[in-house]
């Protein structure tokens, strides 16, 4: 159960940047600040909030500004309250029943929720606004940072959180190999199915045209698809035929299914940072409506479908896209 010191308030002389990690900000009994408590330890939930679904949520998901006052809740990890979160996460808008449409957005959001770190989610579909021209990116105490691995490393040190604490060197090596497989190879397959394959391209074209004036939406889609073709050709995947691309993507999925077997998670009996990464790449294909070949295969493998459903429930509860959009209203 967490006991609080006087929190920092905007405008005061004591700023978040002056704090070295969360230990100065929080005193804890029974667990370190911002790190998971022992398994099974119950959280003290205020009565007026006990009706919320289990899981951790952003204090506010917003398309521009505004903070919802409240608590951030984590299953079995205590309760953390802040008047204004210093951490803002910029992601694509929600889609497919997920809190964001990008695989690396999902990776970062899943990691944050598993870690119990409070944040404000900002929907930003223009990747040019980010420091690396990609989503997601963060703004923490005025510092802008991109690349999920760098972000997670920084936040882990700042909040004294390590989801992989206690893993053996062999477990870390296995997790690293699976993360690289999905982030470096399977990610290309996902992009190809989303923007190059006819079924995915038709969906994206319609989606962009619905968000923009017809001529502008069509132009943006054409430019985006052309750029993606060039990138995937340069990396090698788009040099192959659609059938070979399908075989390559399905091979990654089948290998993971065999490895998982009856395991609930990748390398431990709990979710780690490696699970957050792999979940982020698989979830769009499980939940998007397009009948692209690799996505159809992903949904047809019970082990993979159950794994993704389990991670989604643990990280985001039963909420759908309408709930994520409503949070920004």
Q: How far apart are CA 186 and CA 282, in angstroms?
A: 9
pLDDT tens digits, one per residue of 275-303: 999 999 999 999 999 999 999 999 999 99
Q: How far apart are CA 109 and CA 137, in angstroms?
A: 11
Q: How confident is the model at residue 55 (pLDDT cuts 50, 70, 90)?
A: very low
28 versus 191: the higher-pLDDT residue is 191
pLDDT of residue 85: 55
Q: Average pLDDT for residues 191-203, to the nearest whole number? A: 96
**List of domains in the chain:** 2-6+34-164 (3.40.30.10), 169-319 (1.20.1050.10)
Average pLDDT score, the chain: 79
pLDDT tens digits, one per residue of 79-97: 344 444 589 999 999 999 9
Token pair 């993979």: residue: 304
Q: How many residues in total does the chain contain?
A: 329
pLDDT of residue 327: 52
Q: How confident is the model at residue 29 (pLDDT cuts 50, 70, 90)?
A: very low
Pick from 17-26, 205-214, 289-298: least confident: 17-26
Q: How far apart are CA 120 and CA 109, in angstroms?
A: 10
Q: How far apart are CA 312 and CA 110, in angstroms?
A: 8
C-alpha closest to that of 77 among 4, 121, 5, 28: 28
Q: Does 62 have pLDDT greater than 50?
A: no
Q: Does 75 have pLDDT greater than 80?
A: no
Q: DSSP code of 182? A: I
Q: Are strands 87-91 and 120-123 parallel, antiparallel or unpaired?
A: parallel
pLDDT of residue 318: 65
Q: Average pLDDT for residues 242-263, to the nearest whole number? A: 98
pLDDT of residue 100: 96
Straight-line distance from the first to the last Cα atom of the chain, in angstroms, rounded to the nearest whole number: 32
Q: How confident is the model at residue 326 (pLDDT cuts 50, 70, 90)?
A: low
Q: Percent of the chain having pLDDT more than 70?
A: 71
Q: How confident is the model at residue 243 (pLDDT cuts 50, 70, 90)?
A: very high
Q: How far apart are CA 106 and CA 68, in angstroms?
A: 21
Q: Does 235 have pLDDT greater than 80?
A: yes
Distance of CA 293 to the CA centre of its chain: 24
Q: How confident is the model at residue 63 (pLDDT cuts 50, 70, 90)?
A: very low
Q: Does 323 have pLDDT greater than 70?
A: no
pLDDT of residue 127: 87
pLDDT of residue 70: 30
pLDDT of residue 184: 97
Element (H, E) at 157: helix 148-158
Q: How confident is the model at residue 26 (pLDDT cuts 50, 70, 90)?
A: very low
């Amino acid at each position: 159960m967490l006991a609080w010191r006087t929190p920092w308030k905007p405008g005061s002389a004591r700023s978040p940047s002056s704090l070295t990690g969360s230990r100065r900000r929080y005193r804890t009994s029974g667990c370190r600040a911002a790190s998971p408590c022992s398994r099974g330890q119950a959280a003290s939930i205020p009565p007026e909030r006990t009706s919320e679904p289990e899981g951790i949520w952003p204090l506010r998901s917003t398309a521009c500004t505004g903070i919802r006052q409240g608590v951030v809740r984590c299953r079995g990890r205590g309760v953390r309250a802040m008047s204004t979160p210093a951490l803002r996460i910029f992601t694509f808008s929600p889609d497919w029943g997920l809190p964001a449409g990008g695989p690396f957005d999902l990776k970062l959001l899943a990691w944050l929720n598993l870690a119990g770190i409070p944040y404000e989610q900002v929907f930003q579909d223009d990747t040019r606004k980010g420091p690396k021209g990609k989503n997601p990116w963060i703004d923490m105490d005025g510092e802008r940072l991109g690349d999920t691995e760098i972000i997670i490393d920084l936040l882990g040190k700042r909040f004294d959180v390590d989801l992989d604490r206690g893993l053996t060197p062999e477990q870390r090596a296995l997790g690293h190999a699976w993360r690289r497989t999905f982030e470096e190879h399977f990610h290309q397959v996902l992009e190809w199915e989303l923007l190059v394959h006819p079924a995915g391209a038709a969906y994206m074209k319609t989606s962009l045209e619905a968000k923009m004036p017809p001529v502008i939406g069509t132009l943006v889609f054409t430019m985006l698809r052309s750029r993606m073709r060039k990138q995937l050709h340069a990396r090698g995947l788009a040099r192959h035929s659609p059938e070979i691309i399908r075989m390559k993507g399905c091979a990654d999925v089948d290998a993971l299914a065999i490895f998982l077997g009856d395991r609930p998670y990748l390398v431990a009996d709990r979710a780690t940072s490696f699970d957050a990464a792999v979940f982020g790449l698989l979830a769009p294909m499980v939940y998007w409506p397009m009948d692209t070949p690799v996505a159809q295969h992903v949904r047809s493998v019970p082990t993979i479908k159950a794994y993704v459903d389990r991670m989604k429930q643990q990280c985001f509860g039963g909420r759908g896209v309408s709930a994520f959009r409503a949070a920004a209203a």
